[in-house]
Structures are given as C-alpha cells and as structure tokens.
Structure 1
Amino acid sequence: MTSAIQELKDSLHPKLRAVLEKRGFDEFSEIQMRAVPKLISGINAILIAPTGTGKTESALLPVFHHMLTDPLPEGFSALYITPLRSLNRDMMNRLEWWGAELGLKISVRHGDTSQTDRRKQATHPPDLLITTPESLQAMMMGKVLRKHLAAVRYVIVDEIHELADGKRGAQLSVALERVAELAGEFQRIGISATVGNPELVGRFLCGKRPCTIVQVPVAKTLDLSVKFAGESFGDQTKMIGKCIDAHTSTLVFTNTRSVAEAIGHALLPRGDTDVHHGSLSREVRIDAEDKFRAGMTRGMICTSSMELGIDIGQIDHVIQFNSPREVARLMQRTGRAGHQIHATSKGMILATGFDDILESMVIVNKAMSNQPENIRPHINAADVIANQIAALAVERGEIAIEKIEQIFSRTFCFENAGPLIREVIAGMEKHYLIRTEGGMVITKARARKYLSLNLSMIADEKKSMIFDVVSRKPVGTLDESFVISWISSGAVFVARGQVWRVLDIDEDRIMVEPAKNAKGELPSWEGEQIPVPFTVAMEVGRLRRLQNFADYRADERSVRFAEKVLSEMKKNRSITATDRLIVLEDSDEGVVVNLCGGHKVNETIGRVLSILLSARYGTSVGIETNAYRILLRLPKFLRAPDVEEVLLSLEPDHVEGILMLALKKTALYKWKLVQIAKKFGAIDADADYEKISMNRLLDLFDGTVIEKEAFRELFFSSMDVASAKNVVTMLKNHGMETKTSRLSIIGAEGLFTGRDVVVPPGEDQAILESVKHRIDEQDVILACMHCRKWKSKTKVARVPDQPQCPVCGARLIAALKPYEEPMFAALKKKTLSTEEREAETRMMRNANMVLSSGKKAVVALAGRGVGPEAAARILNTFATGDNFYREILKAERTFVQTHRYWG
C-alpha cells in the first residue's frame, strides 16, 4: 500500500477504517484520492469522474467521517438528493450495509414511501435521508420535518447535470437556501460524470459561496468507435447479436422506447436479452436489472432508464444504436461499461445512414476530447419564483418581501431577480394566492392547496389514445405536448416501432392508420426528441466540407458509405450544405433549406421564415425540421430563390420579435401559456386545455409576467435564438453563404424526420390481412325486407354467399350494423315517422345490393361508416381480392376524415 493511500486511510475515523477493511478497500480511485481529503476539510465541491470510479464513496466517506467524529443533532444530518426514485431505491440498497456497519440510521423518502415509513422518519429521524427534490419540497410544508431539516450539515446532489438545466433544478436551488434558513450553512457536494462547464454548475449548487472543482476527465477511460450497421433492420439486429456474443454483458442503448422494443423483439429467440425502459412497470424493470446483475441475461436493450448510475453489476460493453445526438449522453452511457477502478469503458455507435454516420463520428471525437455540452440553468424562471414564494408564505404564514429577495439572491438562478420578484408577487396577489401588507407577503388558504398540487415543476400532461382504424384496436398513448406540437390530420409519427398517419383527432382520441413509404417523428412517450446541439451540427457541416474522415474514429464501411453519398451528390451535380453553406432546394413538397444548425436553431429559423413568407405572399406555410434541414411546405408558385431572398433579408435583431409574433398564433404557445399559468396558480391545475379559449387566454395574460415566462421558456427549451442570430449574422458578414438547387439525395433524406424508425416488412399485406380479419369478426344483423318477420345476428365470416330468409324464402336481405337493429323493429309499425321512412329507404337499397351481389355486399357494408352509397361505389369498382379490401379501407378512411363535417 502506497504512503498516500495509507495517509488517506489514517485521516478517516477508526470505525470507518475498520469498515473499509471489512469491505476490502485495498486501494482508492483517482477521484477518491483527490476528493476525500478536500471534502474532509469541509469545502463545497463538484466531483466529476467516470461512472463506476467511486464518486459516491468520494462524497460519502468524508460525510460519514464527520458524522462519526462530531456529535449528531436530532434530525437529518445529511441529505442525499437524486433526480429519480429508482436512483433513490438503488442508493438505499447500496448504503444500507454501510449504515448497519457504522451504526448510522439511513432511510429513503420519495413519492412511493409508505405512510408507516413516513411516520417513522418523523418520530425517529434517520441520520442520512435519501430523497428527491420534490420530496424535499413536501417535507418543508410540515412542522416536524422542518425541525428535522434544521439539523442538516451536509447535502449531496447526485447526477447534478440532470437537475441543473431544468426548472426542477432552479426550484431545488431555492429549496437549498430555504434549508439554509433553517439549518445555517452546510457543506454542498455535487456529483456527475459529464459536465462541460463545471464552474457554472458549481455556482448553480453553491450560489456565491466558494466551490472547488475536483475532476477526473471521463475521456481518459473511454474507448469509442463508429460502425456502419447496414441499411436493413435485419442486418442491424444481426450485428447487435454478434456484439452481445462477443462480450459477457452488453448494454444496448436506443434513443426511443419503440426501437428498444423492436430490437428486443428481434433478439427474443436468443433467450439471453431483456428490455428496460420507462414505460415498463417497476416490477418488470427490477426483474430485468436482477437478471442482468446475476448473469442470467447477457444483453439489455434500454433507453435513458439505464443512463444514470443504477447498479446492475459489471458491464463489458456498451452499444449505442444510432447517434446519441449529444456528446454528454454518449459519455454518460458508455461510461457504464468497465464500471470499476482503472477499467476502460468500451463503447460503439452503430450508425444507420449518412447523417447518422457523420454525426456519430463528430460526437465520438468530441467525447474522446472531453468536450461534453455545457449545462444551461434556467435564469429567472418566473413560475419557479411564484412556486417558492408560495412555499415560503405557507411555511411561515408571513414573510417580508425583502427577506424573499435576500433568499433568492443567494442562488445563481435568481441572483438578479429583484424587480421580477416584485412583479411575480403582484401577479400572485391578483390570483388570490397571497396578500401583501406593509412590505410583507401573507399566505392565503388557496396557497396551501396550490402548493400541494404544484410540489413539482414537471408539467402534468394528459394522454391521448391512439386508435388504429384498420385493426380497431388501441395502439398506445401520446403526451399532450406532442399532440399539440406535432399532431394534425395527415401527420406521420412512430409508435410501437411502426409508422402511423393521423386520419382524425377526436377530443382525447387520435384515429390513425399504418403509413406506407413514410418516415415519422417520434412521439414524446417514446422518450422526448433529443435535439442535436448547434456545435455538433456545425462540425458535421465542417466534416462534409473537408471530408477529412481519417481524422475521425469510424470503420471503413462507415467511411465508404459516407463517401458514396457525397460522390453521388457530385455525380448528380448537387450542392452539399456545410458549416459555411446553406443550400435551398426545390421539391414537390415545397423548399428544403439544408442548414447544419441542429434541431433548435433550425426550428427557430424555420418558424421565422414561415411567418415572413406567410406575411409576404399571403399563404399558409407548413414547416418540418430536423438537425440538418428545414422543410417549408409551400404553394407551387413559391420556389427556392423566393425563400433565399427572405432569408438574406433577415436582420439578427429582428429574430426574437418575429418569433414572438409567430408563436402567439400556435397551439404550442397556447399549451405553454396554460402550463405556466397552472404553475402560477392563475388557472386550476385540473383545467382542461381544450376547453380554454385561446382569445380569452391571450387577453387575460397579455403583457403579464405569465406571458413573458411562456416566451422565455419556449425560447430556452424549444429553440436556440442566440445561435440562430449567429447564423443570420454570418450570412450578413459573408461567413456563410447560400445557394439554390434542385432536390438532392441529402435534401430528400430529411423530407420526413425520424432516423430511428423501424418499418415492419410486408406492411401493405399485413394491413389488408388485418382489415379482412376485423371485418370477418364483425357482428352483422341479417334482416328480411320482404316479410319483415325474420332477423338474425351473426359474424360476417358466417354469412352464406347468397343470404335467404328461412321464413318466407325471399333473398331481399338487408345487412345491418348492430346499432340499426332497433330501426328495423320500428318498421313493423303501421305509421312510420319521416326518419323511419328514410331508414326504410336505406335498408331497401341495402337489401337490393345484397340481392344482386350476395356476401360481397355484406362485406362492403360491414366497413366502418360505409353506408349504401359508399358500398355501391365499392361494388361498382368490380374490384376483387386484396383490391376489394383496399376499396373498403379507402371508404373507411374517408369517413374518419370527414364525418365530423356532416350535418
């Protein structure tokens, strides 16, 4: 044992040294050697090191040392805060042994914690409490738990990068200052594997207090590569299978749940793989983790559910299927491999297309150079201010406005929020959450109810059911934000590994059909669309320009595929967009703007162009964007030179103002406004988005702090205004130029986004078989229109080729839908109403069709929304076999799309 290791051991409490010996701690990792002595001295710190190198122990050993050395007050001496309940459970499993050996009480508290355990924590508080940001908010509402929080001496925030760039993090930063009001100053420790700007994250955690960065670069332990996985899904899953065979344990990360399921299904016959994602029940996920940890399975197909540090034992290899789109995400995921001191984390991206290959090459290079993206905390988020003012008012009954400002000013996220705090207080008073008197904020009864419904800054979203008109079965659900942002009649998206086209939206139900020959966007329940950052997309553009593939880590097949695409572009005299060139191409769909700007920049510029073109030419403009293209759906008279002229006339300073005009008319803005208003308490938490008038909303919140926050968050989360203005400035300064051209193979690749789409083979035949099966199983009422004494309920499949009445022998048989049965019974009356006479006429026409065409007419009439007129059109095509069922499906589709407009 080296003297440095012995010196470190000697600095720890004897009881802790004995437990380390029992645990078999023979050596310390680099992060432990560097962090533990500093943390024992009491400093605040951010610890950054690869996954599995002992960051957790680096933070906890000094805390345990002091808890054993110093007398513990009654209450929670230490808080261990993680972003996920699953991490809380995992951390509890890891720390239970330490607590038992050291004689320290350790407990966990989150949304699923039982009332029995909560009572125990109140009457016999643990020394160390593992919790989430939301549970910390809830604890501060109770008198007994606030008393226990007054004992806090240490706070550890694990996976701090997950919290720092969201509103949950902004809320937590104020919560920590509220704990400091109760407990006085305490030691703050943040833990992460991937942070591009650790100093700023240190300020996020500590405010203006000193904070030391202790960092062991993740890149030192990474071994990454890019491989071309082939163009067919079969080839891709075969390659994944070979990789699993070559290693003892492999994690296969996908960007979406549907792809995880599709790969899992393809590998199911192996018997040694499992699937793990957030849509699966907790029991199923835990079972998958246990099997993998025990070596019962060799491969786990997963999404971001496995990205953070849940302990699943030793992992040899990590595969990322498709580009992970962010450098930090790749570093976080591949860091799971090795997962022990001195081990190298081996990872591979399996890329599946031109954009995917180049993007993967860039991301691997940036990861190997230790260049993860910077964390961007929310600054002055007004709804977080409202939430925490309500919390302070409920906690204390009344509080001075100056005191509120002082508490907020100690945080990085709100250090300059003074004037905004006053504006928020005025808004809260207007909405009856608080009242003010003599410079004091005084709580009202409504504030406590508001707070109980808004402990989290995560927006509540209702779900819409996806319903397949072909099989008549539900497909899944979509989140409200995705429906509002993306879903309209004709839109294409992916669910359950299949591509769907929207036929109709009916309240909380979306009617869809399987879409042929189309790629689609990813619904947010698949895992939110991961945006490619501006920096990554621009380097992809640079790689296109220089074609210096030898400088990047990729296999020969990847390079050959990329070179082949660029060679085809040259042969076709097409122009390739780069970091210095925007190419505008004419297509049948409209104009494709090839811009290597990343998702948020392209979304920003796309929306600006759409409103300017709409205003100039008086036409509606549709937009679709991905990281490398903007598709503007335009009338035929508008071409690429027209769009180019508008783009070049754009001024950087006008971008924000134009965006505000553009967004105010969108469903996305309305949804965000409702979300923010709910978080302010200005709208009830259970208010239905659909039933709120847009005009009333705009009038109600015009010029208010709520409107300002809606715009701030949209600009922050959905767009990148600063980088978009940078692109416009480069065009002005000739650092970037534009060219127009006809549609190229690269431009055409992005007409529909969604590189992760897995389209099932033989889709058309599968659809028709599904239609046949569904119609065969459908109930039908056969009714004699001659004697009107006989009717029979049966399945379509059982109907004879030529139906006949067993009572009178006539063949004038109507094929009715079950809901028409009461109307047939009414025909026996002597006097018929006008409505009943119309029904009789329809049924006679129906029966005459069955008389002339037999069972074929019965099948046609069984289609959804297919009446005698539509059935007659189907029969008049004289289609047979599959074509006959295609005609039925066409009629059903027309009904779904038009029925709402019928009288």
Structure 2
Amino acid sequence: MDEFGKLNGRVKDSLSKFGFKKPTRIQEKAIPEILEGKNALLIAPTGTGKTEAALFPVFSQFSKGPKENGIKILYIAPLRALNRDMQKRLQRWQEPLDMDIQVRHGDTTKTQRRKQAVNPPDMLITTPETLQAILPGSRMKEHLKSVKWVIVDEVHELAESKRGTQLSLGLERVVHQAGNFQRIGLSATVGSSERVANFLVGSSREAEIIKVGSTEESSINVKSPMPTEEDAKLSEKLNATPTMIARLQRIKEIIDEHDSTLTFVNTREASETLGSKLKFWDSDYPVTVHHGSLSRGFRINAEDEFRNEELKGLICTSSMELGIDIGAIDFIIQYRSPRQVTRLIQRIGRSKHRIGASSEGTIIAADPEDVAESGVIARNTHLHKLEKTKIPENSLDVLAHQLVGINLDGVQKAQEVFKIVKSAYPYRDFSKEEFSEVLTQLLNQGLLWRDNQKLSRGRKSWKYYYTNLSMIPDIKHYKIQNIASGESIGTLDEEFVVGKAEPGVTFICKGEAWQVISIDEDLVKVEPIQDPYGAIPAWEGELIPVSFETAQNVGDLRKSIDEALNSGKEPKEIAKNLQNKYSLDENSSEWLVRHIDKHRKEAPLPTSKRLVIESYEKFSVLHAPFGSIVNKTLAQILAALISTRIGASIGVKSDPYRIAFRYPEKKDTRALEKTLRNLEPEHVDPLLKKVLSNSSTFRWRLLHVAKRFGAIKKDADFSKINGRRLLRSFEDTPLWKETEREIRLKKFDVPKLKNLLGMLREDKLEIETVERSKGQGPTPLGVSILNELASAGEIVVPKRAERKILKVLKRRLSNRQVKLFCLNCQNWSKLTRVRRISENPSCKNCGAKFLGLVPQKKRGVLEAIKKEKKGEDLTEEQKTAARRLKESANLILTYGKKAITAMAGHGVGPTTAARILAKQHKNENDFYRDILRAERVYARTHRFWD
C-alpha cells in the first residue's frame, strides 16, 4: 500500500502539489511507525528522503490537532547552516498547513527573538546550544510546554560528543516542562544503532530502529596514479613530488569530467595544500577550499558559488560531511584514506544526492600503506562494518552546567533534579555519591546554594549558565614564525602547543620540517631543520583516529599477501586477486604487493598477530597494528617506563601501525623489548594515571573542564595560568575526575590494551626483532614514521641543506632596514637597507666613519646623545642607550658593513656582535652560522631577561 495514503488530507494534497509521487523505502518503513506515535531512529543514506520520512507523519499529526499557541515541533540540527537549509526547504509547507516555521540560533537578531517570545512559531528549527539558551527563559519556557515532537538531525554526530550529552539532559528538561513527546532521530551512518537510539530517547523509553540501505550499491574504488615524465617536469614548477603531481592530475581530470565534485581531505592543512597547488597550476581553475578555520563569510560564499555552478569543485574537510545544501554533487574524491568507515559512508553519500541514484566516489591513495588502509575501509563499507559509537557517559562538567540550568528552570529539590538527570541515557548508571560531589562543588563555588533544603541561585548562576552554553572549547591559535626569514608560516592550535611544542621539538607544517626555538604569548618561533626524524605533523591532533579493527584488518591483509608470496604465487597474480576484494585498481594493488614483498625480504612482516621491534641507529620502532588510540595509550606508558629505565627523556610518536622512539644513545634501543615484555596488564591503570597527571595535555584539558564548571573564567588564558597551582587547586575534585574521564574516552583505550598485553603474556601475540645498520636504513614499513612526510603527505620536504637556511638568512639580513647616525658631527643620519650600504660607510656630511646603529625600537637614543653633548643629566636608561650606540659605532669603525650585518640579526646587540666579529671565520657561511646561533639564543632566552 502507498504509505502516503495514511497521511492527513492536507499533507497528501501538498505532497502531490510539491511533486512527491510515491514514497521512498525509508518513507515506506518509517511513516506508519511514526504515525503510531513511536519514537524512531531513522538510518538511511543521504538523499533517500529520510528527513521527509520524519516530517510527513509529524506534519500529518500536527494538522489534525486544534490550532493552539506554543511550540509543537522542535527540529534540532548541529550546524546553523543545516538550520538555514531546513527553513528554506520547509517554507512552502507553511501556507497549506497553516504552520509558522522559524529558525533560532546564535545569529538570530534580538528583534526576531522578541517576536518569537511574544508569538511563538509552531515549529522551531534550532541548535543544541540555542535550546539550552531558551529553556530557562520565562516566556520561551512556557512555549516549550506545548512540544509534542522533537526531531534530531545528524544524531550520530551529536551522540559522540559532550554537545550530545548536554542535549540529552536538555531534552529531559523539556520533558519536565511538557511531559513526554515523540522523538525521531535522523542519520546516514550509525556504528551502534541500539546505543544511539537509547541516547535519543533516554534511559527508560524505547525506540524503533528503522534502517534501509542504498537503492543500489555505492561505487567506491581505490586508485594510485603513477607519475609520468610530464609529471616529473611539472613537479619542479609546483614544488611537489612527481607522485603528488600524478595524483593532482587525476583529481583535476575527475573534476573536469564532472559538473560538481567534492574532494574530501582529512585535515585543514591538506585542503590548503591541494587548493594552492591546483590554483598555482591554473590560477583560474574553478575550485576553492572549505574548512572550519575559514571565516563564515568565506564558507557561505564558497557554498553559494558551488550551488550556482560558478565552481566545479570544493576541497573540503569534515565541514562538508553533514547535509548542507550545496546543490547536486556528481562525484566524491577522498584524498588519502578516510581513516574510518563511517566517514567514508557519510562522504560518499553526498554524491548523487537524489532518490534512486547510486553514490560514486574514488579514494586517491598516496602510498602503499594508504592503499592497504583505504582498501580495507572500502571493503568494510561494502560489508557495512562500521566503527562502534562511543557515547560520553557521566560527564561531570556537562552535569554541573545542567544542574544550574535545571534550577533556573524552577526545579528546587535535589532529589527531583537527580531524577531528571538519571532519565538521560548518558547518566542512566550515575550514582548519588557522584551527584552529591558535583552539587557540593557548585555550592562551594557559590553557583548554587541551599536554603531550607531547597536549591537556590543568584546573579552569578545566570552569568555562569549563559556564558557556558557551548561545550566546544575556545581554542587559542599561535602564529608560527620562521626565525631565519622572519616570515609567517601558519598557525598552531593551543592543544598542540601545550601538549607537544616545546623548544627542541620538531614538527611538520606547510610541507617542511621545523624545530621549535621559543614560545611566546601568541608566537612560536621556529627554524627549518634538515633532520625530520621524529617530526610530528602540526595538525596531528586533528587527524581522525583509525580504529583497532581497521588496523587489525590491515595486519590480516599483510599476512594474506605474505602467505601468498610464500606459496610461490607471482606478485601480479596476488595483486589481481586483491583488486575485486578490496576495490583496488591495478596500480594500487601491484604497488601494495611490491611494498610488502620488499619489506618481507628485509625483515619480519608485522601482522595482526605478530609484533616486530625494529632498531636503527638511535631509534626503535614497535610495529603494532593496534590502531590510533591503543597505540597512543601504549606509547605513553612505554615512553614513561623506558625514560625511567635509561634515566633520560626520549622522543616518541605513534600512528595506527607503529610506535617510534628516539633515544639519547644507540645502546638504549634494547630497552624497548625488555620493557614491553615486562609490562603487565595490571600496571596499565596506575602508570597511565601517573603519566596523565604529569602531562601538559592533562593541564590543558583540566583548564577547559574548569571553565565548563565555572571554576575559572571562560576567557582565561592557559599561558598565564600556573600549571602546578591549577593541579593543586583541583586535585581530588570532580574537575580532576572529569579530566581523567574525558582523556581516557577520547585519547586512550585501556581495556583493549590490557587485553592485548594479556595475549602477549599467553603467547597469543609473538614478538620478533630486527637490527638495521646505517647502510641498510630503516625497513620499508618503518621509514614512514621515522621520516614523516608533509601535511598532506606529499609536499617536498627537501633534506634542507644548511646552505639553503643560510641563503634565506642572508637575504633577510641584507633586506633589513637600519638607521645610521654620525656620532662625530651629529647632524647626519640615514635610514636604509643593509644591502645598500658600502663596505666602509661614512658620514655624507662630515666624512667621518664613526657611525652608530640606532636600534629600531629605541629611536629616543638620539635624544640621549644630544643631551649628553650639551652636558645635561641622563637617566640610567639613556646612559645605557648612549653607551650601546657608541659600542656599535666602534664596531662599524673596525669591521665596516660586516658589523652592521651582524647587528641586523634579531636580538644581536653590540656585545654579541663583538663576540661574533672577533672570531676567525674560515668563510662567509661560518659568519652567518654564528649570527643564526645568536638569534636562536635570543629567541629562547629573551623572555626571561629583566
């Protein structure tokens, strides 16, 4: 039967008018269930009509009822852009159904808000944060008492974050006002459907899970274009490897072959890289980038241009994963592995965004390991083996905010508040003890207080609640400056700076390796470095984690190739067999097999059941295909234990397949195997607790938890807070517990690691070792982590010869603007660039060579010199300035332009310059090396000067 026939007459008439002829599969299944009033989680690919599957029956029920004042339908979406799109889609329904549909979010004007408070819409489209904002409002709270239906869009996106935890409590607060209402969740991908359904409806309610697949199977394949001679020539022009040029060529071909293409990348930096290379290649090429760090205006403009077909392509991050309306999309390119099945389904589903069409997409893999991971994810996508959904549970900082909110709603009894909290799924197992601890913390902070066994609040409570509506932390950004050239390179997020960046650390940014020299208030000074070992990408914290299951599947794929090669099969035959199973093209499969074959001829092959420890020079690599989170957990613990064992700190880096260590001495590499073999499962928890409490990452997250608790001001700057005092203040409080809980959920997987260590003890996992000499170099599977490539994985990271660094330094110093002043006649000065100064400069007024270099930021020094000539008294600061000017003049008199060049260096004054100039340099480069060293010392130490 046509399920549209069950809908109210007004809705049916409108469907016919709007061109809806027959229901889609998700509409057929969902409409009857929703009409019966059942809570429902709708899971269906993008473009299959699931939004309408929820709205048609809700509209049908709405149009049957009497016209009453108040909000009847809440539509909640995680992005403002989705809110705007939804309002546009639903405008045509307002007249036939006599329904007022409005949007409310952070950009809604005060005038619009006032109108909504006086005349509430029948349907309000909003965000989780705005729901929080309107809940305590005296008028809006009354309007919410009429709510009968709540639809949560992109529910999977919310379920895994604290935004979702906050929403789940917010919905229970609406229940307290309005009584139970029907809940409908919408998602294209859900890893754990029952868990997400429970999250949607709360701890004591049931929901129908209504799920349909694509009408046709989506088409996904993995390609690795190989470079041609033309690519090699073009690589010099675009400053990229020939292999990256081959990939760029293929991306360009796909975009040219289609009308509209989205190219997904995994990081902001990768989108900028691809975008800049394509634009450098062809400045008029109709593509642009789209990611969360760009301004809202730029993003909206890009979306409009794509929708209006002024652009053929967008290079985007997860910013375009959700269903923002940007018109028809013909094809999806995923640049490098998508790292998760759920991500790939969400992204590929954006193509052919129309009912009955099959989604199409290609993964462009960048190296053999990328091929293996991409192939595994493509296969698991076809098998619909998704990663499990992680829902934050018992979040204490979210609870603190909601306890104040519930009290602002008018609930005064602690027992009643506790009952509301327990009805939200993330708090279903929450204990009274922890509830009391959080409540006590709020009472101590003066955000709530007890009055005759009732909870009360004041002005401070309102301020705290409204300044902490968002659970998304405000992230500070630091500028990166190249100390050699003075140029700005980019920015680093606060978490990276706090957690990883310290003087001496090497990281990758804009395709090159940099070493941190100093960190100021909002500036990280760096220098280019030719040794990229141990370098970590500046955007590492942004990378999507690869699951344990995916990494193990890659280990199994390696093993199957190894066994096939051992049985005597030809590599080409093995590669051909992989093509269908893993959706690989010929180039990709052959490249992967050759890579595995090369490694196994040199060293044992790491698989899902075989760990390999590789030692090379002062490095060792633990090959362990355990995924991003497990390996990070193991890396932290091993690094702490090995540092204790050898009595020195070590460098560590992990990825989904390896953990790399850098030691002070070559002999220390033996410590890894001993430490791993002696590590017992029961040691993990206490060790991790100790590692966490001593880490800057813990302090950084504790700061944000403290902000959400209202214990620290929202705008508090981490760099101005004493970390140890922060730890002392909140030790053994709910804030400390929540910080540990949050880090364990997001960054570590203790249960999985314990299980693996148990398998190691029981010999269910084997360990093999291999020693590599300098002549051999790292193994094919080890070199990638030791010689980390650039942000998108392909920009040329030249082994930056020192001469290149010095060349940049020379150029910068020669272009430095300086001011010369004649101390002889005191009537001549000149502002010029170092390059324009003669070898032995002299005063153009009196001809004397006694010229001083006036510091750029202390031009008042000339006033001091003139006062001194007149015999007037000078301040101590003026005396010092005059003395330093004379010292610079003596140096210029003795060394000429060379002295000026030295003093043009950052922080190189007359005293330091005198030491440099007094040396017997073998050549010009030695001279510039000394200037660079002096600049480094200044950058590291100047903030400590009095």
TM-score, with length taken from structure 2: 0.89
**Code of the aligned partner of 2:833:** K
1:46-61 maps to which residues of 2 (within 5 A)? 46-61=41-56
Which residue in the other structure is 1:798 paired with?
A: 836
Which residue in the other structure is 2:585 paired with?
A: 555
Is contact 2:547-2:629 (8 Å) kept?
Answer: yes
Which residue in the other structure is 1:705 paired with?
A: 734
Q: Distance in 2 between matches of 1:617 and 1:760?
A: 36
**Is 2:767 aligned against 1:744?**
no
Q: Distance in 2 between matches of 1:138 and 1:432?
A: 21
Is contact 2:73-2:149 (8 Å) kept?
Answer: yes
Is contact 1:817-1:862 (8 Å) kept?
Answer: no
Q: Distance in 1 between matches of 2:925 and 2:10?
A: 78
1:772-851 maps to which residues of 2 (within 5 A)? 772=810, 774-823=812-861, 825-827=863-865, 829=868, 843=885, 846-851=888-893
Q: Distance in 2 between matches of 1:410 and 1:431?
A: 26
Q: Distance in 2 between matches of 1:730 and 1:501?
A: 39
Q: Say which of 311, 317, 330 aligns to 1:297.
A: 311
Using the TM superposition, give the Cα deviation of residue 791 of structure 1 relative to its aligned residue in structure 2, in angstroms: 2.5
Classify 1:387/1:96 alpha carbon distance in 2 versus 1 (closer, same or farther; 3 Å).
same
Using the TM superposition, give the Cα deviation of residue 633 of structure 1 relative to its aligned residue in structure 2, in angstroms: 2.8
**Code of the aligned partner of 1:783:** F
Unaligned residue ranges in structure 1 (runs of 5+): none
CA offset digits 1:829-872 (Å, max 9, x no partner): 26788877776665555445544554344333212122345546
TM-score, with length taken from structure 1: 0.94
CA offset digits 1:215-239 (Å, max 9, x no partner): 1135953211111145633222112
Classify 1:99/1:499 alpha carbon distance in 2 versus 1 (closer, same or farther; 3 Å).
farther
CA offset digits 1:319-339 (Å, max 9, x no partner): 011111111011100110111
Which residue in the other structure is 1:274 paired with?
A: 288
Which residue in the other structure is 1:590 paired with?
A: 619
Using the TM superposition, give the Cα deviation of residue 345 of structure 1 relative to its aligned residue in structure 2, in angstroms: 0.7
Q: Distance in 1 between matches of 2:413 and 2:837?
A: 80
Using the TM superposition, give the Cα deviation of residue 167 of structure 1 relative to its aligned residue in structure 2, in angstroms: 0.8
Q: Distance in 2 between matches of 1:124 and 1:163?
A: 30
1:555-634 maps to which residues of 2 (within 5 A)? 555-571=585-601, 573-634=602-663
Q: Distance in 1 between matches of 2:389 and 2:216?
A: 21
Classify 1:219/1:476 alpha carbon distance in 2 versus 1 (closer, same or farther; 3 Å).
farther
Is contact 1:583-1:741 (8 Å) kept?
Answer: yes
CA offset digits 1:407-459 (Å, max 9, x no partner): 12222110121322122112221222112355533324322111111112222
**Is 2:147 aligned against 1:139?**
no
Name the stretch that deviates more: 761-770 or 594-603.
761-770
Q: Say which of 216, 223, 246 aligns to 1:227.
A: 223
Classify 1:884/1:33 alpha carbon distance in 2 versus 1 (closer, same or farther; 3 Å).
farther
Is contact 1:467-1:474 (8 Å) kept?
Answer: yes
**Code of the aligned partner of 2:379:** N
Q: Distance in 2 between matches of 1:761 and 1:387?
A: 47
Task: Number of aligned residue pairs: give it.
Answer: 895
**Is 2:72 aligned against 1:77?**
yes
**Is 2:378 aligned against 1:364?**
yes
Q: What is the DSSP-based 3-state SS (H/G/I as helix, E as strand, rest coil) of the residue aligned with 2:661?
A: strand
Q: What is the DSSP-based 3-state SS (H/G/I as helix, E as strand, rest coil) of the residue aligned with 1:399?
A: coil
Name the stretch that deviates more: 868-877 or 23-32.
868-877
Is contact 1:259-1:497 (8 Å) kept?
Answer: no
Which residue in the other structure is 2:457 paired with?
A: 443
Is contact 1:405-1:418 (8 Å) kept?
Answer: no
Is contact 2:495-2:700 (8 Å) kept?
Answer: yes
Is contact 2:818-2:834 (8 Å) kept?
Answer: yes
Is contact 1:78-1:154 (8 Å) kept?
Answer: yes
Which residue in the other structure is 1:374 paired with?
A: 388
Q: What is the DSSP-based 3-state SS (H/G/I as helix, E as strand, rest coil) of the residue aligned with 1:213?
A: strand
**Code of the aligned partner of 1:491:** V
Q: Distance in 1 between matches of 2:291 and 2:222?
A: 24
**Code of the aligned partner of 2:675:** V
CA offset digits 1:106-156 (Å, max 9, x no partner): 111111111111111111111111101110000012010001111111000
Which residue in the other structure is 1:246 paired with?
A: 257
**Is 2:935 aligned against 1:892?**
yes
**Code of the aligned partner of 1:896:** A
1:510-529 maps to which residues of 2 (within 5 A)? 510-516=524-530, 518=532, 520-523=535-538, 528-529=542-543
Which residue in the other structure is 2:431 paired with?
A: 418
Using the TM superposition, give the Cα deviation of residue 301 of structure 1 relative to its aligned residue in structure 2, in angstroms: 0.9
**Is 2:563 aligned against 1:540?**
no
Using the TM superposition, give the Cα deviation of residue 514 of structure 1 relative to its aligned residue in structure 2, in angstroms: 4.0
Q: How much identity, in percent, do the aligned residues show?
A: 40
Q: Distance in 1 between matches of 2:390 and 2:192?
A: 9
Is contact 1:602-1:625 (8 Å) kept?
Answer: yes
Is contact 1:259-1:758 (8 Å) kept?
Answer: no
Which residue in the other structure is 1:409 paired with?
A: 422
Is contact 1:258-1:497 (8 Å) kept?
Answer: no
Q: Say which of 866, 883, 900 aligns to 1:858.
A: 900
Classify 1:8/1:97 alpha carbon distance in 2 versus 1 (closer, same or farther; 3 Å).
same
CA offset digits 1:344-366 (Å, max 9, x no partner): 11111111123212111111111
Which residue in the other structure is 2:232 paired with?
A: none
Name the stretch that deviates more: 328-337 or 502-511.
502-511
Superposed CA RMSD in Å reads 2.7
Name the stretch that deviates more: 117-126 or 464-473.
464-473
Which residue in the other structure is 1:355 paired with?
A: 369
Using the TM superposition, give the Cα deviation of residue 494 of structure 1 relative to its aligned residue in structure 2, in angstroms: 4.3
Q: Say which of 788, 792, 815 aligns to 1:756.
A: 792
Which residue in the other structure is 1:121 paired with?
A: 116
Name the stretch that deviates more: 648-657 or 799-808.
799-808
Which residue in the other structure is 2:237 paired with?
A: none
Classify 1:692/1:517 alpha carbon distance in 2 versus 1 (closer, same or farther; 3 Å).
closer
Is contact 2:379-2:582 (8 Å) kept?
Answer: yes
Using the TM superposition, give the Cα deviation of residue 537 of structure 1 relative to its aligned residue in structure 2, in angstroms: 1.2
Q: Say which of 447, 454, 457 aligns to 2:468.
A: 454
Is contact 2:168-2:199 (8 Å) kept?
Answer: yes
Classify 1:289/1:821 alpha carbon distance in 2 versus 1 (closer, same or farther; 3 Å).
closer
Using the TM superposition, give the Cα deviation of residue 688 of structure 1 relative to its aligned residue in structure 2, in angstroms: 3.1
Q: Distance in 2 between matches of 1:666 and 1:291?
A: 45
Classify 1:113/1:766 alpha carbon distance in 2 versus 1 (closer, same or farther; 3 Å).
farther
Q: What is the DSSP-based 3-state SS (H/G/I as helix, E as strand, rest coil) of the residue aligned with 1:750?
A: helix
Classify 1:394/1:837 alpha carbon distance in 2 versus 1 (closer, same or farther; 3 Å).
closer
